Chains A and B, each alone.
Chain A
Amino acid sequence: MSESTATRSRPVEPGIPEASGVECNFIPGPVVTEVPADRPATVCAVDRLVLRFGGRGSPAILKGVSLVIADGEAVAVLGSNGAGKSTLLRCLPRLLEPSEGSVSLLGEDVMSLRRAGLRRLRSRIGFVFQRHNLSTRLSVLSNVIHGAHGRAGALRACHQALAPQELREEAMDCLAQVSLTDLAGRRADQLSGGQSQRVAIARALMQRPEIMIADEPVASLDPSSAEEVMDLFARLMRERGITLIFTSHHLKHALAYGDRVVALKAGLVVEDKPTARLREQDLDWIYDSNDRT
């Protein structure tokens, strides 16, 4: 039995909490990510990306980063603190506005998109943050339903009580993928760090993403939870063939879950190799203060 089948055949599922608080029986089905047939082989292309906080004279955080990522690839972005990893990830869907260079995502020229186009593109990209960024006063189910904002609209996706039944069921499917259906009705501020991050992953799955970006998704977790969450995360992405771009400080994670490692140092790409050709000790120098570049 495959892992995904094993997840789906869990014996008891507590069901979707009703808007009124009454629960109903619910058997989770598979989450189908519809991948367009015409999706380009290169899903992400970054060309000479520069980012400065300030005017032209101010120091650059990214100093001309170029990168091409193929469909279905899992890319680990490594680098010490301040190397520009998180900045690079935030520049991809223009959460930060690059100063120079170009970004192409899922065949769209990100830099030329206007507000509505940018929102449409972002809705196709899952983003998991280091600090889960859940709406902590809302229930787990409401947080997962937020993932449908891009396609369902603000009012239908803002709270589980207002969401149509099909969204509520899909959200429960996503929670089933991260084994959290029993916590659907719990408030997000009553979850552990690992549970919160799994809810964030379920929320990203709810977007039906074509690319998943994760900024140090397990940095705030203890080693055992980190291992568990990272394993789950990478497995879900692999099963769906979703391109994964993640940053990490764990060389072990980069080698275990990435097909390729891209290392940044002081805003520049200093290494870009398939993980099959790398060992942990080959990457130690990235964290050395003596600049080999």
Chain B
Amino acid sequence: MTATTGPDHGVPHRMGKITPLAFALTVGAAAFVLVSFNHVGLSWEKILGGGPGLARLVSQMFPPDLSRLTPVLVSLLETFQMAVVGTVLGIAFSLPLAVMASAKHAPHPLLRIGFRGLIAFFRTVPDLIWALVFVIAVGLGPAAGTLAIMIDTIGFCARFFAEAMEEADDGPQEALTAMGAGRTGILFSAVYPQVIPSFIATGLFALEKATRSSVVLGLVGAGGIGIELKVAMDFFSYDLACMIIISIFILVLMVEQASGWLRARVL
């Protein structure tokens, strides 16, 4: 029996044609991943060999040491205050920066490019680096951490605020323009009312992010509970460290739950 072929329907190929450049980039990327695995020295022996050490650590962590609960809670409160103040300041500065970085609302394209660059710079430098910078600038303590969180929040919020403003419906803005409203009037009457839910959601995400960040900023002396955790680990007080970690976990969880609930109500 001879195999018969059906009529030619011009069925598309399973995969599009790959260019030599795309092929080379794919192979290069795959090779880089493999080399990286080799370079970081991760192996089954190491993972399995770490098991006893991990078990010993966990056994020393429990039960958690509650003797220093009060000072730890005070530090935790300071950490959360750093996060709140840093986030509030960051959001306040993000509002005008977002206007300048928005394609529709910036007074001049060059200003928009400049402000976009500034916001990208704030975002790409990690918060721990900002904390180091501000520890040098304003000294050890929560002020440095708060400023670091503020800059990190600006990098995060100003970008999303600008995008939300660009996506706002043009209709009300056109109506306000037709009525003779100026730039500020259009922003306050047509743009902000539309994007406020998005701003609030972004702000709450920023607060969650800031709460997590503020925990580690103490490691470089920028205030908060991070320094307590570092000291506990340095002195092998793993039971105390465990109590601090559980406290941090509860704080972050509470902030995430509250922020999720608020977001659901606003959106």
A and B pair up:
yes
Which A residues are closer than 8 A to B by beta carbons? Answer: 93, 95, 118-125, 127, 129, 131-138, 142, 146-147, 149-150, 153-155, 157-159, 200, 203, 207
Q: Knowing that A136-B194, A149-B182, A157-B189 are A-B contacts, what are 9 other residue pairs whose CB atoms are under 8 Å apart, sorted by A's residue number?
A: A119-B180, A122-B178, A122-B180, A135-B189, A135-B190, A146-B189, A150-B181, A154-B188, A159-B189
A/B pair count, beta carbons within 8 Å: 85
Whether A95 contacts B178 in the complex (CB less than 8 A), given A133-B172, A155-B188, comes out as yes
A-chain residues with CB within 8 Å of residue B185 when the two chains form the complex: 149, 153-154, 157-158
A-B contact pairs, 29 of them (CB 8 A): A93-B178, A95-B178, A120-B180, A122-B179, A124-B180, A125-B178, A127-B175, A127-B178, A131-B171, A132-B171, A133-B171, A133-B172, A135-B193, A137-B193, A137-B197, A142-B189, A146-B179, A147-B179, A149-B185, A149-B189, A150-B181, A154-B185, A154-B189, A158-B185, A158-B188, A158-B189, A159-B188, A203-B179, A207-B180
Contact with A along B73-87 (1 / 0, CB 8 A): 000000000000000
* CB nearest neighbor in B for A156: B185
A200 to B193, CA, bound (A): 17
With the chains together, A225 CA to B133 CA distance in Å? Answer: 64
Among the listed A123, A133, A136, A142, which residue makes an inter-chain contact with B180, where contact means beta carbons less than 8 Å apart?
Answer: A123
Contacts of B190 in A (CB 8 A): 135
CB atoms of B194 and A135 under 8 A apart: yes
In whole angstroms, what is the CA distance A93 to B185 when docked?
18
Residues A154 and B181 in contact, CB atoms below 8 Å apart: yes
Q: Which residues of B contact A137 (CB under 8 A)?
A: 193-194, 196-197
B173 closest partner in A (C-beta): A133
Q: CA separation between A18 and B176, bound complex, in Å?
A: 24
Number of interface residues of B (CB under 8 A): 20
Q: Give A154 to B191 CA distance when docked, in angstroms.
A: 13
Cβ contacts under 8 Å, B180 to chain A: 118-124, 149-150, 207
Q: How far is the CA of A158 from the CA of B183 in the complex (A)?
A: 12
Q: A137-B196, A154-B188, A157-B189 are in contact. Are A95 and B177 (CB under 8 A)?
A: yes
The chain B residue sitting closest to A207, CB to CB, is: B179
Taking the nearest CB of chain B, how far is it from the CB of A89, in angstroms?
A: 10
**Is there a chain A Cβ closer than 8 Å to B174's Cβ?**
yes
Distance of A285 Cα from B21 Cα, bound (Å): 59
**Is B124 interfacial (CB 8 A cutoff)?**
no
Closest chain A CB from B245 CB (angstroms): 42
Residues from chain A with Cβ under 8 Å of B176 in the complex: 146, 149
Is B38 an interface position by the 8 A CB rule? no
Taking the closest CB of chain B, its distance from the CB of A240, in whole angstroms, is 17
B179 touches A95 (CB 8 A): no
Kindly provide the distance from the CB of A260 to the nearest chain B CB, expressed in whole angstroms: 23
Task: List the 6 shortest-distance A-B pairs measured between CB atoms, nearest first.
Answer: A123-B180, A154-B185, A122-B180, A150-B180, A133-B175, A127-B178
Residues of chain A within 8 A of B181, CB atoms compared: 119, 146, 149-150, 154, 157
In contact, A133 and B174 (Cβ under 8 angstroms): yes
Hey, which bits of chain B sit against chain A, CB under 8 A? 171-172, 174-182, 184-185, 188-190, 193-194, 196-197
Q: In the complex, which residues of chain B have a beta carbon less than 8 angstroms from the beta carbon of A153?
A: 185
Residue of B175, B179, B193 touching A123 (CB-CB under 8 A)? B179
Whether A134 contacts B189 by the Cβ 8 Å rule is no
Q: Assess whether A129 is in contact with B171, with CB atoms less than 8 Å apart.
A: yes
**Residues on the A chain within 8 Å of B188, using CB:** 154-155, 158-159
**Whole-angstrom CA separation of A109 from B143 in the bound complex:** 57
Residues of chain B contacted by A138 (CB below 8 angstroms): 189, 193
Contact of B182 among A119, A142, A147 (CB under 8 A): A119
CB–CB B174/A95 < 8 A: yes
How far apart are A207's CB and chain B's nearest CB, in angstroms?
Answer: 6
Residues of A contacting B175 with CB < 8 Å?
Answer: 127, 129, 133-134, 146, 200, 203
- Residues on the B chain within 8 Å of A207, using CB: 179-180
User: Min CB distance, B185 to chain A, in Å?
Assistant: 4
Which among B182, B189, B194, B196 has the greatest number of chain A C-beta atoms within 10 A?
A: B189
Q: Chain B residues near A119: list those with CB within 8 A.
A: 180-182
Q: How far is the CB of A213 from chain B (nearest CB, A)?
A: 8
Give the chain A neighbours of B194 by CB distance below 8 A: 135-137
What residues on A are CB-neighbors of B177 within 8 Å?
Answer: 95, 122
In the complex, which residues of chain B have a beta carbon less than 8 angstroms from the beta carbon of A132?
Answer: 171
Residues in A whose Cβ lies below 8 Å from that of B172 = 133-136
| Whole-angstrom distance between the Cβ of B127 and the nearest chain A Cβ | 33
Q: How far is the CA of A200 from the CA of B176 in the complex (A)?
A: 11
Which residue in B174, B189, B197 is a CB contact (below 8 Å) of A129? B174
Residues of B within 8 A of A158 (CB): 185, 188-189
Tell whether A149 pairs with B179 under 8 Å between CB atoms, given A137-B193, A157-B189, A158-B185: yes
Q: How far is the CB of A241 from chain B (nearest CB, A)?
A: 21
Please report the C-alpha to C-alpha distance between residue A203 and residue B189 in the assembled complex, in whole angstroms.
Answer: 13
Q: How far is the CB of A275 from chain B (nearest CB, A)?
A: 26
CA distance A127 to B180 in the complex (A): 10
Q: How far apart are the CA atoms of A149 and B173 in the complex, in Å?
A: 13
Contact A127 B179 (CB under 8 A): yes
Shortest Cβ distance from residue B99 to the other chain A in the assembled complex, whole angstroms: 13
Taking the closest CB of chain A, its distance from the CB of B267, in whole angstroms, is 12
